[in-house]
Each structure stands twice: as C-alpha cells, then as structure tokens.
Structure 1
Amino acid sequence: MGKAEPAADLEVHFIDVGQADATLVKSDDFTVLIDTGNWNSSAAVDYLHGQDITEIDILIGTHPDADHIGQMDRIMEQFEVGEVWMSGNTSTSDVFIRTLEAIDSSGADYYEPRAGEIFDIGDIQIDVLYPEEITGKANEESISLKLTYGEVDFVFTGDAGVKEEQEMVNAGFDLDAEILQLGHHGSNTSTSSEFLQAVSPEVAIYSAGAENSYGHPHAEVIAAAENAGAVVYGTDVNGTVIVETDGERYSVSAEREGVPVEGVNRCIDLNVASSAELQEIEGIGPAYAEDIISGRPFETIDDLEEIKGIGQGTIDRIKAQGLVCTGG
C-alpha cells in the first residue's frame, strides 16, 4: 500500500511521564495515544488536558505493565475514546483489572491487533509489526507499530526484546523509519544492532525517569543508536520531546536541553523485569526467569526461595551481586 499524501500536519509527543511510557499522536483529524504512563501519576492525563484533547480515536496499551497502562482507566473516564487496542496478554494486577472495567463501562470498541495488519487512520498508515500471536510473555509481546505519515515514518516497540525485534526483521517488514522510540526505556534488552540497521533511524527517543532505579537508559544502547547515525533524546534529560512533520520534512523540539547519558542506581526489579533482564541476575537462567515471572509478586529477595531449585546459597549470591530489588 502506498503512502498517503498528508493533508494536515502531524505532531508526535513523547510525553515526560517519568519511568513510564506515553506517546500522543495528533493531527487536526485524529488523536492516537500509545500507552498511558504509570499508575501512581497523573502526568499523562494532565498533559492531555493541557493539549486541549477531548477525544481519542485509538487508545493503545502496548502491554499490561502498570508503567504502560497505569492511567488508562482515568483516561477512559475523562476522555471520549473510540477504540482500545491491547495485546491480549493479561495480568493479575489491580491496574489491569481497573483498566478492563473502564473499557467495559466506556462502551469503546476493543481490538487485539496482530502482525501484518494495516490500518488507515485519517492520513496516517499504521502497520502492525508484532505480535503475530501471544503466549503470555507480556513485555516481550508488546504491540509494535510502524506509523507512516507521507514520507516520514515512526517505529514503536513498547518493551519488546531483541528476540522479538529479530522476528520483526525476519518477517520481512519494511522497518526503515526516521524516528525510533527505543524499546524498554533504553534498556539493553532491546535495540539490537540488527534492528537498528533495519530501522536506520535519524532520531531515537527513549522514555525514562530521572535517576530511575533501573539504570535506564543503558550506555551501550545510547552508543549503538548514535553510532547508527541517530540523534538521541530522552525524557529523563530533555523532558517532553515533540516531533512535528508535514509528511516530507520533520523537526524535533525538546522541553529542556541536555545530552542523554547512562542511567545510574541500576536495579533489576523482580516484579517487572523481562526474562532477558532477569537472566542478568547471578544464578538465574531462562527456566528460573520464567518461574520468577510466574511467581510474582515478591516482597523480598528471600521470597525467591519459594521457587523450586533456588536455595539459600543462590539467594546469598544474588544479594552479594547487589543488582536486584523488589520495587513493584
């Protein structure tokens, strides 16, 4: 399908919502919101009101983590939402349950997009890149999209990891885009060199909280994006970042000047980390990582003893490594 000629300018706002994600896509004709910030903040809701938004045509929760769908219930209550997209993966969290209740009571349409589908929303084209199917891996199976407006393209991958990025590459999708939102808040579990080569972004933007406990972004990701020729922006340093385009040219403006640097105080949170991140923990391989994900939530590191095969010796080594927390 060819790229439609835009009739109106497009703005994409990478909103500063702390250690979370929320991206507003708007023109005179439509509004799309990709993720909604964290459950313990009103930043996304406040920003939408500040932009005089009253209606959202498509509200997308890339995956059910609380730092991506955290304010979805409040947004459903305060704005008129036409359609909600979610991956289909579930969670036992109160945030997820409140989200489902809000969707049900709103009367909005509900859809679970799948890889290969193409949608025309006003003057933009949305190509679904992932997932083709779901297996319960919530982070990894984030809804991933390519948004095309004239000759300018954006790629969003939520918290999808390098394995899922490679599947997008192997599927033969045209991933080339001017703007890339770096996956998983700039974590090294995402943004492989192969994926960067396929996207070849001119601008890379990540969303992270200042001095967050996860150490996002990771230095190797910033370096890789810059080495690929991209100018990097981060909400932790630059605040809200806005890309404006007429479909031929684009410009980038940031709330604050600053150069993204490696995060500090890095912590791998047992309750939200992906499988790949969990495997960076001393003594944790793929099988234990999946057991940890299935056994959430954990109040303390010592609670890992509930997992068959993890003994006190392993727990002591994990504590000595100093990389693990249980922040929720």
Structure 2
Amino acid sequence: TPVLLPLSAAVNTYAVPANVLAAPFVPFITVPGTFAAVISTTLPWLAVPILWCCGLAAACLGLIGRAAAGFPQATAPWPEGWVGWGLVVLYVFAALVLAWGLVDRFRYWHMVLLAGAAAAMLALVLPVTALAPSRGLDHWRVALCDVGQGDMLVIRTQESAGVVVDAGEDPLLADQCLEKLGLDTVEALVLTHEHSDHYGGTAGVIEDRAPGTVLHAGSADWDVDAEVESVAELPASVPVYRPQAGEVFEFTRELRVRLTVWVAEAHHAEANDNSLVALFEIADPQLPVGQIGAVSHPLRLLAMGDMEEAATASLLRRDGVPPGVHLLKVAHHGAANGGTELLEATRPAAALIGVGQDNSYGHPSAEIIRTLEAVGASVYRTDLHGTVAFSLGPNGLEAMELR
C-alpha cells in the first residue's frame, strides 16, 4: 500500500477479493511456466503446449482483473499530503494487528487496538475522501474512444454533455463509449468526411441523444443527408450544416468550449484531404489562472481527420501552425501518408491515434510513432490502451484508460 498509493493516488476497492479469486490460478502459471522457460531452448516442442496451458490460467487472471476494474468505484481517491500518509500508517497498523490476532488468536487488547485503528480510519477517510477532489472519470475533459479501426473523439461541455467528432464504423462500440463516459446529450456531432470508419457508427451516437446540430465537411459531391440516413435515423429537426474555415462554435454552459474550423475544403480529389480539421479550446472557469485548462490558458486539441501529407503541408504554408497545441488527434490512424511535418511543428504533449487491433493497413506507421516520440509526445493508441480519458490536474494533463 505505501508503494502503490504514491503511484496511483487511489486505492483499488476490490483488490483483496480479486486477489483471493486469482490466487488458485497462480501456481498453474508460475510452476509449469518456469519449467517451460528452462526447457524452451532444448525442448521447444514440449515447452509450447505447457505455455499454452499457462496461458489459459493467465487468461483467467485477466478476466478477474478486468471484471474487478469494471465494478462501480473500482478505484477510490486517497487524500494527499500528511493526512494521506497518516491514514496509510493507520491502515497498515490495523492490518498488522488483524494479522497478529488471526495467527495468535485474538485477545482483549488486540480487539481494542483493532477497533481503535478502524474507528480512526473511518472517521478520517470517509469525510476526507468525500471532500477530496476526484481524480477519476468525473473530471475528464477529452476522451479518445476505442471504436476499432476508426475515429471517435468526445469533448466534454457539461457534466453529461459533449461534442462528438466522428463515430467510428460500429454503432454498438460508439454507444458503449458514450455510456462509459456518462454522456446523455450530444451538443454537436462533427463528421469530418465521407469514409464509413468515421460516420458508420452514427446510430450509436444519436440513439436517445439527438444532437443539437451536425457539422460536416467531405467532398463536394458527398450527399451527407442520404449517407447519414442510411446508417441512422436522424430527426428532421436536427440541422445538418457544412461550416467554412474560420467559423467558430461556442458551448459555454459549464465548461467553456470553443470549436474553430481550421479547414473544411471540398475540392480535393482525395476524400481524406477534404476532412474537417477542428481546433478545440477547452477552459474551466474554476481552475486557477495560469494552469492548463484555465480560461487564460485553455487546453487546445487539434483534430486532423484523415488529412494526408501534401494537403497538410500546403495548409501549414498557407495558414501556419495553431499555437500551443496540447493534444493532437493524429491524421488517418497514424498512417505514413499523414506525414510528419505537422507533428514536428505542433510538438503536442499527447498524440491520440484511433486504430484497430491487428488491422490490415499496418496502422500506425513506425515512422509516425518514432517522430512523435522524438518530439516528446506521449502516444495513446486505442489498439493498446482502449478508450482513454484526459483530465486536468495541478500537474497538467492526466490520462486514464477505461477498459
């Protein structure tokens, strides 16, 4: 506990029962696994089936871990500073007294010590934890949704509302992501262009969450109404609108979110280059001046759609680079044809890549990943990290995987 708390600033509520359930499987991994490792260089034909058997037991551990992590309040925030350290001491002391009593049978003074430690823990932990600011899902600002080989971003505007950029191709995955985020209102749905891995999941977004408006770009001959109607039943009252570069849309009820259309062209022969590229500026009026995400220093997210290298280079020469980009949604699932010029010019703190596991396109490109690492960006990929939510803390951006 003293080692884990500084790393996560939270306690795993179900860790003890989860470990009790997992313990019987551990010997079936460690003992035969060690034996297989020893013989693997001389008898690989024997080591492989043994390791497969170990893999079945390991899969059971994975299932238990995922199930425990998915329960409500799976992690509980822990107070910081001297209060937090004092609680750790009490917690460890209570655990030692309990263990001592179990081994050496309880005596009266054991019970007094245990009861005193437990009472002190409850008296301090419950009110302090309730008053402590949450570091979890409640404070997320931007989320990269795992929708397989496709793109979907969510920018929070209110407690249970936000702007959705693209919807992937699978309506079920899109709906599951919004459910996980607690989003029941879509203030705007932005469809960057006409490829189905960006709009095919629209039904999952608008089911019971009719958007305030649908913004789109794409090629001039893309019949948005017909395409969207082919995958989802959009209410007739929802306006569908193609914005122009430079247009601004603001959402200011709780958080202050400004969407600026950086580019939304329609004349390119390649549909990817007709993507709507959006710059989001996200500010929380409650954050102190100077902190990332405050009104004076908004969190900036640049969502590139699927724009490719030549069009991006032309755009950079013409309009320059948006200043101070913190989050970059990498173009075209990290494909090599997105180029590296924008990555080097923006040098984001974090790069977001929506990509499916074992996809046949080879996304993301090794060159793109190398460039992002070279410019110091933390890379988040849905094939490796699942859905990722970003919040703002005293130390800046914090990422949380939502498996």
Residue 337 of structure 2 aligns with an amino acid whose one-letter code is T
Q: Displacement, 1:78?
A: 2.8
What is the distance in 2 between the residues matched to 1:161 and 1:238?
25
Tell me the alpha carbon deviations over residues 122-161 of structure 1, each in whole angstroms, 9 at most, x when there is no partner.
2012221112444453211111111112422111111111
Change (3 A) 1:81 1:215: same
What is the distance in 1 between the residues matched to 2:352 and 2:330?
6
Tell me the alpha carbon deviations over residues 104-125 of structure 1, each in whole angstroms, 9 at most, x when there is no partner.
x341122112222222222012
Matched, 1:32 2:159: no
Residue 184 of structure 1 aligns with an amino acid whose one-letter code is H
Residue 129 of structure 1 aligns with an amino acid whose one-letter code is W
Structure of higher RCO (CA pairs closer than 8 Å, 6+ residues apart): 1
- Give 1 or 2: higher helix fraction: 2
- Specify the SS of the correspondent of 2:197: helix
Q: How does 1:175-254 map to 2 (within 5 A)?
A: 175-192=323-340, 194-245=341-392, 249-254=396-401
Tell me the alpha carbon deviations over residues 42-84 of structure 1, each in whole angstroms, 9 at most, x when there is no partner.
1011221333322110001111111110111343343121000
What is the distance in 2 between the residues matched to 1:94 and 1:27?
26
CA RMSD in angstroms comes to 2.7
Q: Is the 8 A contact 1:206 1:233 kept in 2?
A: yes
Q: How does 1:248-287 map to 2 (within 5 A)?
A: 249-255=396-402
Q: Is the 8 A contact 1:10 1:26 kept in 2?
A: yes
Residue 139 of structure 1 aligns with an amino acid whose one-letter code is N
* Structure 2 equivalent of residue 56 of structure 1: 186
Change (3 A) 1:153 1:92: closer
Change (3 A) 1:203 1:74: closer
Aligned mate of 1:144, from 264, 277, 286: 277
Q: How does 1:286-305 map to 2 (within 5 A)?
A: none
What is the distance in 1 between the residues matched to 2:175 and 2:232?
18
Stretch of structure 1 that moved more, 80-89 or 124-133: 124-133
What is the distance in 1 between the residues matched to 2:169 and 2:389?
20
Residue 245 of structure 2 aligns with an amino acid whose one-letter code is A
What is the distance in 2 between the residues matched to 1:124 and 1:93?
25
Question: Given the two structures, how large is their TM-score scaled by the length of structure 1?
Answer: 0.68
Aligned mate of 1:174, from 302, 305, 322: 322
Q: Is the 8 A contact 1:21 1:207 kept in 2?
A: yes
Q: Is the 8 A contact 2:193 2:275 kept in 1?
A: yes
Question: Given the two structures, how large is their TM-score scaled by the length of structure 2?
Answer: 0.56
* Structure 2 equivalent of residue 292 of structure 1: none
What is the distance in 2 between the residues matched to 1:247 and 1:108?
39
- Specify the SS of the correspondent of 2:336: coil
Residue 251 of structure 1 aligns with an amino acid whose one-letter code is E
Change (3 A) 1:247 1:198: farther
What is the distance in 1 between the residues matched to 2:347 and 2:261?
18
Residue 56 of structure 1 aligns with an amino acid whose one-letter code is V
What is the distance in 1 between the residues matched to 2:306 and 2:205?
21
Structure number with greater Rg is: 2
Change (3 A) 1:216 1:88: closer
What is the distance in 2 between the residues matched to 1:107 and 1:94?
13
- Specify the SS of the correspondent of 2:301: strand
What is the distance in 2 between the residues matched to 1:91 and 1:133?
9
Q: Displacement, 1:11?
A: 1.5
Q: Is the 8 A contact 2:246 2:262 kept in 1?
A: yes
What is the distance in 2 between the residues matched to 1:248 and 1:149?
17
What is the distance in 2 between the residues matched to 1:142 and 1:65?
10
Residue 153 of structure 2 aligns with an amino acid whose one-letter code is T
- Specify the SS of the correspondent of 1:189: helix
Change (3 A) 1:231 1:75: closer
Q: Is the 8 A contact 2:202 2:228 kept in 1?
A: no
- Specify the SS of the correspondent of 1:20: coil
Q: Displacement, 1:91?
A: 4.8
Residue 181 of structure 1 aligns with an amino acid whose one-letter code is K
- Specify the SS of the correspondent of 1:80: coil
Matched, 1:86 2:210: no
What is the distance in 1 between the residues matched to 2:370 and 2:272?
24
Residue 217 of structure 1 aligns with an amino acid whose one-letter code is P
How many residue pairs end up in the alignment? 246
Identity among equivalent pairs (%): 27
What is the distance in 1 between the residues matched to 2:269 and 2:394?
37
Matched, 1:45 2:175: yes
Residue 320 of structure 2 aligns with an amino acid whose one-letter code is G
